[in-house]
Structure 1
């Protein structure tokens, strides 16, 4: 494994911690600011929307900058945003800090995915992307539970100070281990934008929005769901987040392994299973053991979709992958924002916290439908290429050969004519 992948994973660890740790701290943050939990949930939505906007913005700004330098600038922005969140006197200021930190998120993972894929052989690209995203998943096993514990014990502001420190560590890792990779020559912004017209690229991004959004419809309100519905104590939320993180690690590695060989079957299986599990969570949330198992499965199935979706975009945007890759990271977070908002709507309307699980199941089922459409388009394209020209044009030297015959090429006639003209004895 190239050490540069480790550096990218370190940066991803810090980003993953700040993205998800707020989920376990929503009740404490809401209490300190004197707002409702759904209102505090805007910190999740705001961060996600910041990623959506920041992914293309920061990527466009970075088109003239070598990739390593851009990664360093992004990690610096991440540190500043978390420091603002740590000292915010009111919720609005904290939301600004979250948005500042989120601007680095999409471009870091988007550019990082391209860098990771270029460090290995083509048949190992999904595995390399998964290795970088392992930092994000491990954050949910170590960073998020630890940050939740610290936030519940010493105050959530301390958590965000520690997250800023993780950002500094990620910055140093990129500076030390990532090689200097120049900006590819001949790739222009208009060329990058042009690939967004490809139907398969747009379908992959839509699958990302809906599929991963389904995960966040449930997970955003996991803490109040587990304490008010399932009956867990506040301190148990930390361990449930560990389970969720372990599922993410397992799903990410499995998704990366199989996406290199069987991308669409892997994606279809993960999305279909995730929709079923999210629907079942409305029932299993009422039992402690069943709820814990379901939380693990949501993490595993949700992140099993990440490597295949990211590789799908890179494959379909071949030749101009950087902007498309960053936009797909934004698509993950657009799904998070939509799902968190929709989940908050149904809860604010007076429904139970488990109602958000139905929202997640519906979103993921819609993603499965799009995946089936995308797979059907693939099959149609392959059939078209296999069929090729079906008829021979009379008198054409470029016609397809009949079985048992060699193809007659134009250069054959040309060479014969030259020989005939040069050698009278051959006439």
Structure 2
């Protein structure tokens, strides 16, 4: 049944609109509060850091509660955050209310994925998961650029108001569309934590971290990069978000199909973007048509990254899907945080034009680690084969 997956994707739209909707308005926020762009980036990096540090623990703590209620509570906190943020509070308070929903973001994603695949077949689990994650890319092509566009016309506060509206819509769909979903059999904490002893899972976690770090060392400052390195105004930046997101929706759909055929080839294909895009961005100049093409390719290669990372990690821990996904979300957001911080450091010391080289470096590490996991899997299968033969 795909209904649960689509409802989960709507909630994911609310989650991602709140987390990443701030990217397009960071320059405006920096100007309003008279702070540097790297300090304004705290609104993204701190959000992601909270997810990284608390995600697995919050997921374990809430794993025994009714899944519908957990999803409603999570999105309700996002709603409150959007409303308060739209009132242009002092910067410290803006940071604080941004942090509150971060505690439940990985809980929502993990729960929505669990609910989506609970009514499906084993053969189409990846497709159902991709539907939930499509909420991320749909947000990139609709609500995130829309929030950026209205902020360019009116004020940055409107962006947070749109985030609140999306969260409210998600609450309605979850409340009226899902039945109560009590957990019938709660897995022990020990059985789930055991996956941390598996070397292949740990390498998969490192791939996730470096892949997301690679993308967000540049993407966190998407608006700033296009403003300064490509000479685009705020309205044009909002159009670039649309281009970025449209190609992202297509690639997320494609990734869901490809994952059913080969997880290894799919993640490796999309990871090549972390090497190709930086080279194209750095040497392309400011010609508008070339820039639009590169932005579209960037969106295509980047957009399935969270889905790819989660699927890649879960494939090495199929018996602890929720906990594995919460770790994927946490380490992915640790990547968001570290990528944002390192990108901010490069901007402050060298200039925004050099941030793509961070993407190149971190992405190269992720590609090497994929090779390491493949080698470990081959070595493990040969060992088990010899044990069976003997």
* Partner of residue 402, structure 1: none
Deviations 1:322-365 (A, max 9, x none): 1221121122211111111101101111x221211101111111
Describe the shift of the 1:313–1:187 C-alpha distance in structure 2 as closer, same or farther (beyond 3 A).
same
Looking at structure 1, the residues matched to 167 and 330 of structure 2 have their Cα atoms a distance apart, in angstroms, of 20
The reply to whether residue 225 of structure 1 matches residue 225 of structure 2 is yes
Give the deviation of 1:139 after TM superposition: 0.7
For residues 12 and 345 of structure 2, what CA distance do their matches in structure 1 show? 30
CA RMSD of aligned residues (A): 1.8
Q: Deviations over 1:272-307 (max 9, x none)?
A: 233222233222253322222222222211233433
User: In the alignment, what sits opposite 1:418?
Assistant: none
Q: Find the counterpart in structure 2 of residue 367 from structure 1.
A: 366
Report deviation, 1:88.
Answer: 4.2
How far apart are residue 103 of structure 1 and its match?
2.0
What SS does structure 2 have at the residue aligned with 1:313? helix
Return 130-139 or 314-323, whichever deviates more. Answer: 314-323
Query: Alignment partner of 1:64: what SS?
Result: coil
Q: For structure 1, which segment, 17-26 or 173-182, has the greater mean C-alpha deviation from structure 2 after superposition?
A: 173-182
Equivalent in the alignment of 1:169: 169
CA apart distance, 1:134:
0.9
Alignment of 1:12-411 (within 5 A): 12-185=12-185, 187-284=187-284, 286-349=286-349, 351-391=350-390
For structure 2, the 5+ residue unaligned runs are: none
CA distance in 2, matches of 1:28, 1:305: 27
What is the SS of the residue equivalent to 2:53? helix
The CA distance in 1 between the partners of 2:46 and 2:297, in whole Å, is 26
After TM superposition, the score normalised by the length of structure 1 is 0.87
Structure 1: which 5+ runs fail to align?
392-427
Deviations 1:119-138 (A, max 9, x none): 21112111111101111111
SS in 1 for 2:175: helix
Answer whether contact 2:206 2:366 (CA < 8 A) is retained.
Answer: yes
Q: Cα deviations across residues 88-135 of structure 1 (Å, max 9, x unaligned)?
A: 422111111111122222111122222222221112111111101111
CA contact (8 A) 1:110 1:328 kept: no
3-state secondary structure, aligned to 1:34: coil
Contact 1:278–1:298, Cα closer than 8 Å, also in 2: no
The structure with more radius of gyration = 1
| Contact kept? 1:63, 1:189, Cα under 8 Å | no
Task: Give the Å deviation of 1:196.
Answer: 1.9
Q: Distance in 2 between matches of 1:323 and 1:389?
A: 31
Deviations 1:215-262 (A, max 9, x none): 111112221221222122221000101111122212211111111111
Hey, what's the Cα distance between the residues in 2 that align with 1:189 and 1:301? 36
Give the Cα–Cα distance (whole angstroms) in 1 for the partners of residues 311 and 326 of structure 2.
12
Cα separation, 2, equivalents of 1:59 and 1:390: 41
**What SS class does the counterpart of residue 265 from structure 2 fall into?**
helix
Distance 1:354 1:75 in 2: 36
Tell me the alpha carbon deviations over residues 134-158 of structure 1, each in whole angstroms, 9 at most, x when there is no partner. Answer: 1111111110111011112221212
8 Å CA contact 1:56, 1:326 repeated in 2: yes
For normalisation by structure 2, the TM-score amounts to 0.95
Residue 235 of structure 1 aligns to a residue whose secondary structure is helix
C-alpha distance in structure 1 between counterparts of 2:87 and 2:51, whole Å? 22
Q: Distance in 2 between matches of 1:24 and 1:290?
A: 21
Partner Cα distance (1:50, 1:204) in 2: 21
- The total of aligned residue pairs comes to 390
